[in-house]
């Protein structure tokens, strides 16, 4: 029997997965269960006869596995709207399903796509997997909000999103609308920090709220804006700033509990507070501001205790971690690569996440522009990076526009976050900052410090090329591996 279809009668096991489950379908002369049937539907391949991406579930006259059309049978898998057999979902392909959903969600009164949402319509249809967008539209409050916008019940503006509770999903929706050009670009995290601060301050006792609001708007925000003029706020800076607000509120609460106030604050109380509370730099900065504003007495803020010096990371430990990252497939590939750039080239995670695909060139050797001089990557890293680039080309969710991040994040047009990379590396005791310092310590033993400082230039490049010539993995990298005593 050449044509897939339901078999009737007795229950047989699945010939594909060998499980004892009802195998109701007959495909390629095998009894196939529901799960195997839908897996086959979801994974079309290139048909050897017509070279199109089709569900390959039929034998042709010379018993090659081909598509229905080439086998001369009705195309039972094809999308009922357009005939495609790619990204099937229900009776349609992903694109037709998404088009239908978008025409429903984004329709204005006349039934056409709302003109204000036309760029979003176009943008979402460029998704590599339209089915993911269909699922996303179903989530609250995404579909509801877009529907209200298209019905002119809510304005197509940032303020509409501001009325929704702060959540990663709303933040994602806002970024999507910005990526599509539907809403003007803003610094999304900075915007959310302001919303968070407003809500946080509103919950404080009135007097605490007043001074915190004054500090936040006139001091913190002003500084943040200066700093983030050219660079969007990072998630880590967002969380630092919200922690600062909480610490200031806790300090004000402590004052009140101890019968004190900003106006009556004295040195002994300040000393007592700092002696009993750790990591209060934010309170120190706040107090210094309050002193300048004449809101409190001119007290001295105790100096920060210097952090105890870290023990150096020995060279062999660094290289053991390199080997681990090269081999350990349980760590996500992007994070492995960033970890390797940290370990071998003393890069900061914050710089690695901002690399672009155009920073990588691949002729015979693979080079990456970390600094002014593109570095030749050692063979194992180059191999991983090639693999990563291949995965990227199949996984990238949105095709049009946007920066060509080498390590794209889950959010459209954003690179992967530093925090998520750090989270993958920390369980393997790879603490980027410590490693970076250790690596630079090692490097300056062998190359002039000025060269290391100049973003790891030529000497390392030479060393790596040398190692590539000897075709070694890591064993013969004298310049890179040198211990302080020399090898
Ligand atoms: Zn099966
Ligand atoms: Zn075919
Ligand atoms: Zn279709």
List the single range of 53-67, 176-190, 361-375 with lowest mean pLDDT: 361-375
Whose CA is closest to 392, among 402, 382, 404, 400?
A: 404
Helix-helix angle 315-327:333-345, to 10 degrees: 160
CB-based burial, 309-347: b 16+ in 10 Å, e otherwise: eeeebebeebbebbebbbeeeebbebbbbbbbbbbbbbb
Distance 443 CA to ligand 3 centre (A): 57
Structure tokens at 47: 């048909």
Distance 130 CA to ligand 3 centre (A): 11
Exposed / middle / buried, residue 24 (Cβ in 10 Å: 0-12, 13-18, 19+): middle
**Residue-wise pLDDT tens digits, 22-42:** 888 989 999 999 999 988 998
List the single range of 310-314, 348-352, 480-484 with lowest mean pLDDT: 480-484
Confidence of residue 443 (pLDDT cuts 50, 70, 90): low
Of the ligands numbered here, which is closest to the C-alpha atom of 38? 1
Strand pairing category for 30-32 and 53-54:
unpaired
Distance 77 CA to ligand 1 centre (A): 18
Whole-number Å distance between alpha carbons of 129 and 354 = 25
The predicted structure's pLDDT at residue 310? 57
Q: What is the mean pLDDT of residues 218-241?
A: 84
Of the ligands numbered here, which is closest to the C-alpha atom of 49? 2
Distance 90 CA to ligand 3 centre (A): 11
Of the ligands numbered here, which is closest to the C-alpha atom of 86? 3
Distance 31 CA to ligand 1 centre (A): 8
pLDDT at residue 145 is higher than 70: yes
- Surrounding ion ligand 3 within 5 Å at CB are 79, 81-82, 84, 93, 96
Of the ligands numbered here, which is closest to the C-alpha atom of 32? 1
pLDDT at residue 315 is higher than 80: no
The predicted structure's pLDDT at residue 312? 65
Whole-number Å distance between alpha carbons of 324 and 363 = 27
Of the ligands numbered here, which is closest to the C-alpha atom of 30? 1
Distance 108 CA to ligand 2 centre (A): 40
The predicted structure's pLDDT at residue 401? 58
Confidence of residue 65 (pLDDT cuts 50, 70, 90): very high
Distance 141 CA to ligand 3 centre (A): 27
Helix-helix angle 333-345:418-425, to 10 degrees: 80
Distance 43 CA to ligand 1 centre (A): 15
The predicted structure's pLDDT at residue 270? 92
Confidence of residue 398 (pLDDT cuts 50, 70, 90): low
First to last CA, the chain: 70
Distance 178 CA to ligand 1 centre (A): 44
The predicted structure's pLDDT at residue 468? 40
Distance 97 CA to ligand 3 centre (A): 7
Distance 83 CA to ligand 3 centre (A): 6
The predicted structure's pLDDT at residue 444? 53
The predicted structure's pLDDT at residue 452? 45
Whole-number Å distance between alpha carbons of 432 and 339 = 8
Distance 468 CA to ligand 2 centre (A): 45
Distance 124 CA to ligand 3 centre (A): 16
Distance 111 CA to ligand 3 centre (A): 21
Distance 383 CA to ligand 2 centre (A): 34
Residues with Cβ within 8 Å of 155's Cβ and at least 6 positions away in sequence, in order, are 149
**Residue-wise pLDDT tens digits, 257-268:** 999 999 999 999
List the single range of 70-79, 98-107, 478-487 with lowest mean pLDDT: 478-487
Whole-number Å distance between alpha carbons of 154 and 168 = 21
The H or E element spanning position 171 is helix 168-179
Distance 66 CA to ligand 1 centre (A): 20
Strand pairing category for 53-54 and 375-376:
unpaired
pLDDT at residue 309 is higher than 50: yes
**Cβ 170 vs Cβ 158: under 8 Å:** no
Distance 390 CA to ligand 2 centre (A): 26
List the single range of 25-34, 123-132, 154-163, 460-469 with lowest mean pLDDT: 460-469
């Amino acid at each position: 029997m050449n044509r897939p279809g339901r078999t009737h009668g007795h229950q047989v096991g699945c010939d594909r997965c060998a499980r004892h489950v009802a195998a109701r379908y007959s495909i390629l002369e095998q009894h196939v269960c529901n799960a195997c049937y839908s897996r086959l539907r979801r994974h079309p391949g290139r048909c050897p006869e017509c070279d199109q991406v089709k569900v390959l579930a039929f034998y042709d006259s010379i018993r090659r596995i081909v598509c229905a059309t080439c086998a001369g049978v009705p195309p039972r898998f094809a999308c009922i709207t357009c005939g495609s057999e790619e990204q099937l979902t229900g009776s349609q392909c992903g694109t037709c399903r998404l088009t239908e959903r978008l025409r429903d969600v984004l329709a204005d009164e006349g039934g056409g796509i709302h003109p204000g949402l036309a760029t979003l319509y176009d943008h979402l249809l460029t998704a590599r997997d339209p089915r993911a967008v269909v699922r996303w539209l179903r989530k609250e409050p995404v579909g509801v909000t877009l529907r209200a916008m298209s019905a002119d019940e809510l304005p197509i503006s940032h303020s509409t999103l501001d009325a929704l509770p702060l959540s990663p999903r709303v933040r994602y929706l806002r970024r999507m609308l910005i990526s599509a050009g539907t809403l003007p670009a803003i610094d999304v995290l900075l915007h959310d920090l302001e919303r968070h601060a407003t809500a946080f301050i509103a919950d404080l006792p009135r007097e605490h709220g007043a001074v915190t609001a004054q500090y936040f708007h006139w001091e913190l925000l002003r500084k943040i804006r200066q700093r983030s003029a050219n660079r969007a706020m990072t998630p880590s800076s967002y969380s630092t700033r919200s922690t600062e607000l909480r610490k200031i509120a806790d300090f004000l609460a402590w004052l009140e509990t101890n019968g004190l106030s900003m106006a009556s604050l004295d040195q002994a109380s300040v000393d007592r507070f700092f002696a009993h509370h750790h990591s209060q730099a934010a309170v120190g900065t706040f107090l210094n501001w309050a002193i300048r504003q004449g809101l409190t007495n001119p007290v001295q803020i105790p100096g920060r205790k210097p952090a105890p010096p870290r023990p150096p990371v020995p060279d062999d430990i660094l290289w053991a971690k390199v080997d681990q990252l090269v081999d350990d497939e349980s760590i996500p590939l992007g994070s492995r690569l960033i970890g390797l750039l940290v370990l071998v080239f003393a890069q900061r995670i914050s710089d690695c996440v901002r690399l672009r695909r155009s920073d990588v060139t691949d002729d015979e050797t693979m080079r990456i522009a970390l600094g002014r001089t593109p570095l030749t990557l050692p063979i194992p890293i180059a191999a991983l990076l090639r693999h990563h680039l291949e995965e990227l080309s199949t996984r990238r969710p949105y095709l049009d526009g946007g920066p060509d991040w080498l390590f794209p994040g889950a959010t459209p047009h954003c690179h992967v976050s530093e925090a998520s990379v750090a989270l993958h590396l920390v369980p393997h005791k790879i603490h980027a900052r410590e490693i970076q310092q250790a690596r630079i310590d090692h490097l300056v033993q062998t190359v002039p410090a000025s060269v290391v400082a100049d973003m790891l230039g030529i000497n390392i490049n030479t060393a790596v090329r040398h190692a590539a010539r000897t075709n070694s993995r890591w064993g013969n990298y004298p310049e890179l591996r040198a211990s302080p005593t020399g090898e």
